[in-house]
Structure formats: structure tokens, C-alpha cells
Amino acid sequence: MKPILPRLGVMFAVLAGLFPLLPRTCLEVHAAEPPQIRMLLVTGGHGFETNLFLKFFTSNPVLTVQAVAHPNAHSWFKADKADQYDVIVLYDMWQDISEEAKKDFLDRLKEGKGLVALHHSLASYQKWDEYAKVIGGKFRLEKQTQDGVEKPASTFKHDVKIPVKVLRPPHSATAGLKDFEIRDETYGGFEVAPSSIPLLATDEPTSGRTICWATSYGRAKVAYIQLGHDHVAWDNPNYRRLVMHAIRWTVGQR
């Protein structure tokens, strides 16, 4: 009987030569897809381009979006609906809130639901001081007296070209982002809590310096982004990345 080892060696050599010809899909090991993020989107109290804004989120395959609007949105903060979402995204500018709804909202944060507050949500619940503590700041709709000191109403200006600087060292919510420019609405004279961590800044004169920050409340990670007035801002790829980074951070994916 003739030895078979040389033949086996030839066979393995031939097979090895075929590997480069195989489709890449046969050889690659793909990374696992990130888990789906269930998002509760809260709107109401301020006009906006509804369909375009909803598409901003629903077009992202990572997100499952439950959109709710005032005056019925607060019912979604109740415990029996809490298992239907991972993160709350606020794009409302609402004032009325019952004591029960306040407790429900705070309970969800104490449980660890993520919270991303966008743009005019900084002006919600003007008479509820705890809300400003939750999101780490406040836009004053009218002049107010705080600790005996009168503070003027905050300001705004539409259609401004805003230079945006990513502050260093980068935070988990902004890591990978570079400085960018965006056309958007500016806010001036608003409050930023000392405990808030500044993430983005601008030297635009009509704007407050800090325009994005991170904070926490209970077990919740909280991010606020001042940008995002209309489709011009939403279409900016840097804004899209910023919002998704913030959402991912609040649910523990960054």
C-alpha cells in the first residue's frame, strides 16, 4: 500500500488555496447587533414639525418609539406602563402636572429609566422646582425672584449659525464627536445647575455658553441638549449622532 500522507498534504494545500475565493460572509464573524432601545417620546405644549421629528427617531432601526402627547402623556409615567420603555425623551414644553404625576415621573427615574431632555423641554414646569433639579437647568419664561434676587426672563433667537465645541476630556455621551457647526435656535440667560457636567459649549453671543450637559437623578442618567428646534438642526448629521449618543449613554450602552 502506498503512503497517503503526501496525498493528504496536497489536498490540504488545495483547500487552503480555495479559502481566499470563498465569499467573505462565510469567513467573517459579525459583531452582535446592539439591543433594541425602547423609547418613550413625550411632546406637547409647543409647536413643531411633527412628522419630520417623529421620522428623526422612527427611521433609526435601533429605536422602538412610543410617541405620547400632553395632556395624556403623564399616564405613561405610571408603574403599570414602566416596563414598556427604557428611556424617556422629552420634547415638550408643558406646565400643568399633578402631584401624582410628579411622583410617577420621579419614581421612574429613581428606578433607573434613562432621560434625555431636548431643546424647549428646558422651559417645562416653571413652578415645579424639582424638575429643574432633574434636568440640571431651567429656561425662565418670565422674570423670577429666586432667593431674593430678581432674574430676567431667558432669551431666544432663531436661525443662528452656532459653532459647537466638544469639551474635553470627552464624556461617554459625546465620545467620538468632533467640533461642528449647526444652524439652530439659541437660548440665552438660562440656568445650568452647578452639579451639571458641561459636554458642549459655544461662544455664540446670543447663546449661553453650555448647550449640552449630563447629570443624574436617583439611579437615572440624564442628558440635556439645548439644540434641536427644527428640521434644519435634525438633518445635521452631528446632531443625529449627538442625540443617539445621549440616548445610548442613558440606557448604559456607552
Q: Give per-residue pLDDT as tens, 143-160.
A: 998 888 999 999 999 999
d(CA 70, CA 202): 32
Q: What is the pLDDT of residues 15-50, one digit of tens each?
A: 444 434 444 443 344 456 668 999 999 999 999 999
What average pLDDT does this structure show over 116-141? Answer: 98
What is the pLDDT, as a whole number, of residue 6? 45
Q: What is the pLDDT of residues 56-67, one digit of tens each?
A: 999 999 999 999
What is the pLDDT, as a whole number, of residue 21? 44
Amino acid at 215: T
Picking from 84, 80, 74, 134, the residue whose alpha carbon sits closest to that of residue 110 is 134
pTM of the model: 0.87
What average pLDDT does this structure show over 74-87? Answer: 98
What is the pLDDT, as a whole number, of residue 32? 60
More confidently predicted of 88 and 27: 88
Amino acid at 75: S
Q: Is the pLDDT reported for residue 7 higher than 90?
A: no
d(CA 125, CA 117): 13
Q: Locate the domains of the chain by residue range.
A: 32-250
What average pLDDT does this structure show over 112-135? Answer: 99
Amino acid at 161: K
Q: What is the pLDDT of residues 194-235, one digit of tens each?
A: 999 999 999 999 999 999 999 999 999 999 999 999 999 999
Give domain 32-250's CATH architecture: 3-Layer(aba) Sandwich (3.40)
The alpha carbon of 159 is separated from its chain's Cα centroid by a whole number of angstroms, namely 22
Mean model confidence pLDDT for the chain: 91
What is the pLDDT, as a whole number, of residue 40? 99
Q: Which are the contacts of 201, defined by CB distance < 8 A and separation ≥ 6?
A: 164, 165, 167, 209, 210, 211
CB 36, CB 60: distance < 8 Å: no
Picking from 128, 121, 122, the residue whose alpha carbon sits closest to that of residue 101 is 128
What is the pLDDT, as a whole number, of residue 254? 86
What is the pLDDT, as a whole number, of residue 15? 40
Amino acid at 244: M
CB 200, CB 141: distance < 8 Å: no
Picking from 158, 136, 173, the residue whose alpha carbon sits closest to that of residue 229 is 158
